[in-house]
Amino acid sequence: MKFGEFMAKLQQGEPKHIYLLAGEEHYYIDKARDRILGRLFSDKQECSDSLQKIKGDIDSDDLISLIDTAPFFTSKNVLLIQNASIFRETKKGSTESEGKKATGKDKKMERLLAAFADMPSYSYIIFVSSDKADKRRKVYKTVEKYGAVLEAEAIRAWNINDWLQGKLQSMNRDMDRDAYAYFNGAVSMMQQISLEFLDREFDKLALFSQDRRITKETLTKVFAGLPEVSIFALMDAISERNGRRALMLLRRQLADGTYFTVILSLLTRHVRQLWQARILQAKGIRGKALAKPLELNPFIAEKLGRAAARFPEETLKQAMLELIDADYWLKTGQAGEEILEHTVIRLCGQEN
């Protein structure tokens, strides 16, 4: 299940005796692990006395033995097992034994699955994996049936709204339409999204303003210091083909000390996305349907599609080639920052 649903169910009823937290987004995994431990233990000392940490693989019979071992001086026996290979995707073409004569390895796995299905009242297991779990495996299905599974999908611009809504709910805040559009646009400029960073910035925002509704003005003040976010206005001006404003914003970025490599990287990415959107729309993929192939939030993908329609494909192609050359010329000192201005002028279709 997804993070929001998983965390909500953790608060309902008694804790499960077995959990699997798997996926690339370690922010979700860390939050879920801490919440589970918070449900199991009343204080840090109890957690320290009861928790056994195991890294990597453990023999299945040894694991069964640990599960059956009654705790001493504590009420619970909790195992935290990190990056065990039993949940990883099987090699292409290979499947688990079904309907065949069971091997010794298969019999050991069957004993382990039986132990998972009938955990002692005092034992708990938390499996943590940075890999995506293979849902086809019997062990995954068993944990899902008798415990709970968190699918910690990596956060990208197109799927960040689940995190945003959860964060706003925890803060007892909401966003107006302009703030929502600004946030999604700013996040779309980030090449890598750090939920830890966003989490901290929203906590700052809660201290910065006591208003229940978050406005675009408030968000701008909080995020303005991040280069990728401050360049968002420049990309917006290019999308609108507003050459005068785009050049003004470019010069301001350079004057403020933003490295040309940051501007070049984000500008190249933006032109590539415009070009991709242009090609996709020519194939009949339009509006929010652009979100999946572009890996963008639907709101941003639709906006990008409208912007792409303003550009001749040849203009985007030539700008892309210029930016590829600019990367080499700037890094080798054969050209100055004026090469970025020339590309902006080409994109906006103006000579001044």
Read off the pLDDT of residues 160-199 as tens digits, 9 standing for 90 and up: 887 888 888 888 899 998 888 888 877 877 766 778 878 8
What residue ranges of the chain are covered by domains with CATH 1.20.272.10? 161-348
The DSSP code sequence of 39-100 is: HH-SSHHHHHHHEEEEES---HHHHHHHHHSPPSSSS-EEEEEES-GGGSPPPTT-----SS
How deeply is 290 buried, as exposed, middle or buried, from its count of CB atoms within 10 A (0-12, 13-18, 19+)?
buried
The 10s digit of each residue's pLDDT in 264-311 is 888 998 999 999 999 999 999 998 899 888 888 787 888 899 999 999
Fold held by 3-152: Rossmann fold (3.40.50)
3-state secondary structure of 155: coil
The 10s digit of each residue's pLDDT in 146-161 is 999 999 887 777 778 8
From the DSSP assignment, how many helices (H) and strands (E) are in the chain? 18, 7
Give the integer Cα–Cα distance in Å for 226 and 183. 13
The 10s digit of each residue's pLDDT in 307-343 is 999 999 999 999 999 898 888 888 888 877 788 888 8
- Whether the CB-CB separation of 24 and 154 falls below 8 Å is answered with yes
157, 197, 216, 297, 347 from 185: Cα distances, Å: 9, 17, 12, 9, 20
The 10s digit of each residue's pLDDT in 71-100 is 888 889 999 999 988 898 776 545 555 445
User: What is the reported pLDDT for 224?
Assistant: 66
Residue 352 pLDDT level (bands cut at 50, 70, 90): very low
The 10s digit of each residue's pLDDT in 193-213 is 778 878 888 888 888 778 889
Give the residue-averaged pLDDT of 249-257: 83
Buried b or exposed e, range 156-188, using 16+ CB within 10 angstroms: bbbbbbebbebbeeeeebebeeebbebbbbbbb
- The stretches of 172-259 forming alpha helices (DSSP H) are 177-188, 195-208, 216-223, 227-230, 232-239, 243-255
Question: What is the maximal distance between C-alpha atoms in the chain?
Answer: 79
Fold held by 161-348: Zinc Finger, Delta Prime; domain 3 (1.20.272)
pLDDT, averaged across the chain: 85
Residue type, 62: D
CA 319 to chain centre: 30
What residue ranges of the chain are covered by domains with CATH 3.40.50.300? 3-152
3-state secondary structure of 19: strand
Percent of the chain with pLDDT over 70: 92
